[in-house]
Amino acid sequence: MLMVDIIRKKRDGGKLSAEEIDFFINGYVKGEIPDYQVSALMMAIYFKGMDDEETHLLTNAMLHSGEVLDLSMIKGFKVDKHSTGGVGDKTSLVLTPMVASCGVSVAKMSGRGLGHTGGTIDKLESFKGFSTAISNEQFIENVNRIGISIMGQTKNLAPADKLLYALRDVTATVDNMSLIASSIMSKKLAAGADGIVLDVKSGSGAFMKTDEDARLLAEKMVSIGKLAGVRTMAVISDMDQPLGRAVGNSMEVKEAIETLKGNGPEDLNELCLTLGSYMVYFAGAAPDRDSAYAMLKESITSGRALDKFAEFIAAQGGSACDVYDPENLPKASEALDFTAPSDCYVSSIMSEEVGNACLLLGGGRRSKEDVIDLSVGIYLHKKVGEKCASGEKVATLYGNDKKKIEEAYERIKGAYSFSDSPVEKNKLIKGIVD
């Protein structure tokens, strides 16, 4: 088989066979097929697409390109959750202890942030001593003992995706539906859970800019999960403005803790309850979704979810005291307010620009090697539909370098639009694919 023939076939709109997909995935992982040929194939796929069967075959080839975790040593039904990535998205921090405190085993594999979106591992590292670099044995032991563990993706898990994602990132071929679906699902399926709940973001800060595209991506991923025999569903949620009010690693952790105490922002709270109710229901811990939703609400009011979060942080090297006293988390030294130009309503907030402002403050990575400043970020006092009085605080930027704060300030100013007349609030849950 020749790689050039596979590239030509896809370039001309042909359908790739299982043998052809296996050939290029195996050859690429072994280093036998060069980057330039795989780049050409990615671009051909970007333009010509892949049908559902090809997408499924690609997922399978990537899933079996390395280790597939065996979680059979964990008792009961294991659920995982994945978000396609957004700004201010700290749902995993809130959701996983809530679900675990309802007696459901949460075995979650997480990643780091790149570009304008943050990663759960970076956020969790705001806790001094906390680590997700744990062995498979420790991961399994923690889930069995306390019902929750979050681990960084191991080198051996879906290595084909790691190579392909890095290549797609620098060849402008990330935002193709089949490539995204197979990339995410190969990692999720290799991580071995029995159920997967997906949060597919739609809007200016997401890969999928329209609700129609987000639904298509959700349908593709749910179909891949089901074909693999894993219970899978997706919630399509709004990313036309950041989620919650805090953007930036330690600031998001503080907001997550407030949410676990019952004082979180409405949108974050609602999204966690919705995603969590599917996780609890899938695991059979509640007879229906409404009961699961009520159980999760109770996990907040009783303080069980917060205690579970503290237990989880301590089990992976952090200090439980930092959960109960988040003032110990990293804090920036300088602050600058962006205020309302007149009496008005917020009409839109470009999520991507808020993410970029955080990046400028030092809170994100431009390349994988960048070290991030966990203390910096932006607090959004006002969100879409909210009324502002002239001179009232709209957002506050927190940083450690005046020049960077001024640069980020311009981005925040540009990210906000205002209207003289009332504006409707964004709809948070845009659809369910089950």
Q: Which residues bind ligand URA (CB under 6 A)?
A: 84-85, 165, 174, 179-180, 183-184
Eight-class DSSP state of 385: T
CB of 117 or CB of 259, closer to ligand URA? 117
Instruction: Return d(Cα 99, Cα 278) in angstroms, integer.
Output: 10
Burial label, 107 (beta-carbon count in 10 A; 0-12, 13-18, 19+): buried
CB of 165 or CB of 312, closer to ligand URA? 165
CB of 144 or CB of 171, closer to ligand URA? 171
CB 115 within 8 A of CB 355: yes
* Nearest-approach distance from CB 48 to ligand URA, in angstroms: 18
Give the phi and the psi of residue 427 in degrees, each rounded to 5.
-80, 125
* Nearest-approach distance from CB 249 to ligand URA, in angstroms: 19
* Nearest-approach distance from CB 423 to ligand URA, in angstroms: 30
CB atoms within 10 A of CB 53: 13
* Nearest-approach distance from CB 187 to ligand URA, in angstroms: 6
Residue with tokens 């499924």: 56
Give the phi and the psi of residue 14 in degrees, each rounded to 5.
-75, 170
CB of 116 or CB of 245, closer to ligand URA? 116
Largest Cα separation within the chain, whole Å, is 68
333 flagged as catalytic: no
Instruction: Return d(Cα 270, Cα 243) in angstroms, integer.
Output: 11
CA neighbor of 404 nearest in space, from 380, 372, 368, 367 = 372
* Nearest-approach distance from CB 239 to ligand URA, in angstroms: 13
Instruction: Return d(Cα 65, Cα 54) in angstroms, integer.
Output: 16
52 flagged as catalytic: no
> Hey, CA dihedral for 304, 104, 80, 200, is it positive or negative?
negative
Tokens of 281: 């229901």
Instruction: Return d(Cα 343, Cα 418) in angstroms, integer.
Output: 9
CB of 59 or CB of 356, closer to ligand URA? 59
Which of 168, 220, 382, 411 is the catalytic position? 168
CB of 210 or CB of 302, closer to ligand URA? 210
Eight-class DSSP state of 106: E
Residue with tokens 């956020």: 123
Instruction: Return d(Cα 193, Cα 187) in angstroms, integer.
Output: 11
Give the phi and the psi of residue 384 in degrees, each rounded to 5.
-55, 130
Tokens of 229: 């025999």
> For the chain, how many helices (H) and strands (E)?
17, 13
Instruction: Return d(Cα 361, Cα 291) in angstroms, integer.
Output: 43
291 flagged as catalytic: no
> Hey, CA dihedral for 403, 383, 121, 230, is it positive or negative?
negative
Which of 81, 82, 245, 382 is the catalytic position? 82
Which of 65, 101, 149, 183 is the catalytic position? 183
CB of 86 or CB of 242, closer to ligand URA? 86
CB of 43 or CB of 260, closer to ligand URA? 43
116 flagged as catalytic: no
Task: Determine the residue with CB nearest ligand URA.
Answer: 183
Question: Which active-site residues does the annotation give?
Answer: 82, 161, 168, 183, 187
